[in-house]
């Protein structure tokens, strides 16, 4: 009687087939993990961009709520100039505003400040940056240096529109108006890196009351 032959291992073909299947599975898993990582990076980048834009709009919009101008103070003029930086729309905005309280800093020397928002090209020239400059004691001659900070980067545009009660303007003051007249509303328009446009309109509460603001801006000394 012929003895039965027992197989003690796998043939070369079986081993190669198993390795091929394992390679395909590993490749699919690697692609899935890579895709998930890339998706997370893209979502994180979008989230950072949206957060930056929201913070800029909140800050500028809040400062506009306290914007003031007075014909008795030349330094209080409200101006906006439109420009182009490598084909990207940009605006330089200068105004005076009541200061917001800052919990992490000492008591400021004045109730108001001169604020300037202005654009710059990024180091590689591909995007815009928005900078903010603040000058304390704007109605007095002083040697306090201006404080400059970067508030937004990686933008494709920073535009300001100003409403005089009848129409919108890209620059202020429009023809026939004084630079000591405040616009009724201001629209902040920011264009993101991928071309999305975000817009927020903010009313100016003190518009129409310019002639009533005649103070110097110095903070009164505290009573003993």
> Residue-wise over 61-93: b if at least 16 C-beta within 10 A, else e?
eebbebbbbbeebeebbbebeeeebeebbbbbb
Q: What is the pLDDT of residue 183?
A: 95
- Tell me the pLDDT of the chain averaged across its residues: 82
Residue 170 in tokens: 């890209």
Q: Give residue 109's pLDDT band: very low, low, confident or very high (50, 70, 90).
A: low
pTM of the model: 0.75
- pLDDT value of residue 131: 96
Residue 101 confidence (pLDDT)? 63
Domain residue ranges in the chain: 52-212
Contacts of 207 (CB under 8 A, 6+ apart): 181, 182, 183, 184
Taking the chain, what is the end-to-end CA distance rounded to the nearest angstrom? 121
Give the distance, in angstroms, between the CA of residue 33 and the centroid of all CA atoms in the same chain: 33
198: number of Cβ within 10 Å: 15
Residue 175 has pLDDT above 60, yes or no: yes
69-78, 79-88, 132-141, 153-162: which has the minimum mean pLDDT? Answer: 132-141
d(CA 47, CA 199): 17
Mean pLDDT value across residues 25-50: 76
Mean pLDDT throughout 164-187? 93
Q: Where are the beta strands (DSSP E) in the chain?
A: 67-68, 79-85, 88-98, 112-121, 128-136, 147-155, 157-163, 168-169, 185-191, 197-203
The answer, yes or no, to whether residue 218 has pLDDT greater than 50, is no
pLDDT in tens, 1-32: 455 555 566 787 777 788 888 888 888 877 77
């Amino acid at each position: 009687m012929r003895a039965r032959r027992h197989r003690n291992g796998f043939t070369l073909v079986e081993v190669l087939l198993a390795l091929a299947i394992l390679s395909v599975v590993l490749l699919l898993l690697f692609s899935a993990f890579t895709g998930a990582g890339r998706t997370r990076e893209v979502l994180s980048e979008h989230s950072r961009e949206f957060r930056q834009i929201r913070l800029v709009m909140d800050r500028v919009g809040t400062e506009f709520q306290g914007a003031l101008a007075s014909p008795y103070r030349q330094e209080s003029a409200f101006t906006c100039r439109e420009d182009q930086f490598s084909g990207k729309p940009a605006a330089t905005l200068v105004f005076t505003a009541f200061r917001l309280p800052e919990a992490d800093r000492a008591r400021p020397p004045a109730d108001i400040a001169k604020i300037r928002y202005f654009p710059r090209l990024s180091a590689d020239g591909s995007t815009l940056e928005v900078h903010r400059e603040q000058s304390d004691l704007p109605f007095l001659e002083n040697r306090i240096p201006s404080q400059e900070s970067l508030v937004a980067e990686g933008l494709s545009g920073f535009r300001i529109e100003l409403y005089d009660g009848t129409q919108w303007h890209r620059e202020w003051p429009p023809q026939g108006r004084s630079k000591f007249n405040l616009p009724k509303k201001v629209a902040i328009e920011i264009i993101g890196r991928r071309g999305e446009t975000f817009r927020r309109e903010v009313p100016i509460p003190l518009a129409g009351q310019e002639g009533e603001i005649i103070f110097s801006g110095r903070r009164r000394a505290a009573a003993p």
